[in-house]
Amino acid sequence: MNPTEIHTVIAILREEYKHWQTPAVTIVAQCNGSPFKILISCIISLRTKDEITALASARIFERAQTAESMVELTVEEISHLIYPAGFYRTKADQIALLSRKLLDEYDGTVPDEMDKLLLFKGVGRKTANLVVTLGFGKPGICVDTHVHRICNRLGYISTKNPDETERALRSLLPPEYWIEINDLLVAFGQNHCHPVSPRCSSCKLSEMCEKISVKVSR
């Protein structure tokens, strides 16, 4: 893929996005989601299907919407509320710990800086970038498995892991696309450009895509 074609790719994905289900964490952000809610939803979403993330997020936010109210819940209560999210017991511990840390060190306010967010247990670059971009509208590129896979599949970049992909995109991707690239590619990956047997025959990006590592498609 010619790097200059990224403008066409984004334009096509924006149109297609209207027909796809919006990622769960984005829905939280769109529904007056605070940075705290976005942070909690991000943690719940790791290795968890979107429909489960949406339901688990809704349940826990009925009980607690701030760090102050979250610390009033026991780890067992949090576990029950976010079940059956993947690794729900571990995530419940993380949610309880980060809520306490927010109160003790940040007066209950989620920081808007990557380096501070990364100090919280269970918060990696993907989560930190989502909080910074969706929660605060600051520049950042959230790279998850969909962004990493699809950018390499297109031939836009050639990287071995999400961290390399983030660095490559920060150098190559026009800044005006940084915040939305995650939403667009997550929805694209969930609905069309699947990890195995992507729907290449009906894909509007097919002519530009180099289909790197695609062995079987539909």
Q: Do 70 and 99 form a contact (C-beta atoms < 8 A)?
A: yes
**Annotation marks residue 112 as catalytic:** no
The one catalytic residue in 112, 126, 160, 211 is 126
For residue 135, the 8-state DSSP code is I
Alpha helices, DSSP H, located in 107-177? 114-117, 125-130, 136, 145-154, 162-172
Closest CA to 187 of 9, 26, 41, 1: 26
The one catalytic residue in 50, 91, 144, 183 is 144
**Annotation marks residue 144 as catalytic:** yes
Distance in Å from the first CA to the final CA of the chain: 20
C-alpha 27 chain-centroid distance: 11
> Which structure tokens are listed for 60?
């826990």
Catalytic residue numbers, as ranges = 126, 144
